Amino acid sequence: MNTGTMSTNSFTITEGRAIDLVEISKIWKQVIETHAEFDITFTLDKEGISNFQLMIAKALTDPQQVLYVARKGTEIIGFLYGFTKKYYGIFQTRLTAHVSDLAIKKEYRRNKIGSILMATFEKEFAKSQNVDDISLNVHIQNQQGLTFYDKLGYEKSLVTMRKRLRND
């Protein structure tokens, strides 16, 4: 990607760098801990943070992945990690851009940062990859997330159902 820098009056969006991974992981951990409050499956594994860092580090060199970072001055206040994936073999072949993670520090939410990260993903990454659509997952109990994506024009299409067999 060659997006350069996108700037508003209060924050900037740039592509992520290796030096950003530790701070991004802290923001991601904050969001995961919030999700764990309503879904125990979001409880982090002891290697969860380092595995997350390894996963998003690939976005720094793989042209089919992207990591956008929102900064206020030198402070990282949010990020978006996404990639493309191709569906083929059974249904009509299509290329999808998938938003894997969007996270904003709590104190900076409701300032359009998430909306601008999503718009950057769509305009700079998804369209350059010539994808058919953009997908993402939102927990059914995450009402704030559901409302946010609905306002951006996303539609509900599938519901994942789960039955717990163990309570550990």
Residue 166 falls inside a structural domain: no
What pLDDT is attached to residue 73? 94
Residue 36 lies in a domain: yes
For 71, the domain range is 5-151
Domain membership of residue 160 (yes or no) is: no
What pLDDT, on the 0 to 100 scale, is given for residue 4?
A: 53
Q: What is the DSSP letter of 24?
A: H
Q: Is 51 among the domain residues?
A: yes
- 19: in domain: yes
Whole-model pTM: value is 0.88
**pLDDT for the residue 152:** 96
> What is the predicted pLDDT for the residue at 23?
95
pLDDT score recorded for residue 74: 93
Q: What is the mean pLDDT of each run of 10 residues along the chain (168 residues)?
A: 57 95 93 82 82 92 96 96 88 89 93 96 95 92 92 91 80
- Which pLDDT does position 8 carry in this prediction? 60
- Which residues, at least 6 apart from 156, have a Cβ–Cβ distance to it below 8 Å? 146
**Residue 12 CB burial class (10 angstroms; 0-12, 13-18, ≥19):** middle
How many independent structural domains does the chain possess?
Answer: 1
- Rounded Cα–Cα distance for residues 32 and 74 (Å): 24
What pLDDT sits at residue 1? Answer: 43
Give me the CATH number covering residue 129: 3.40.630.30
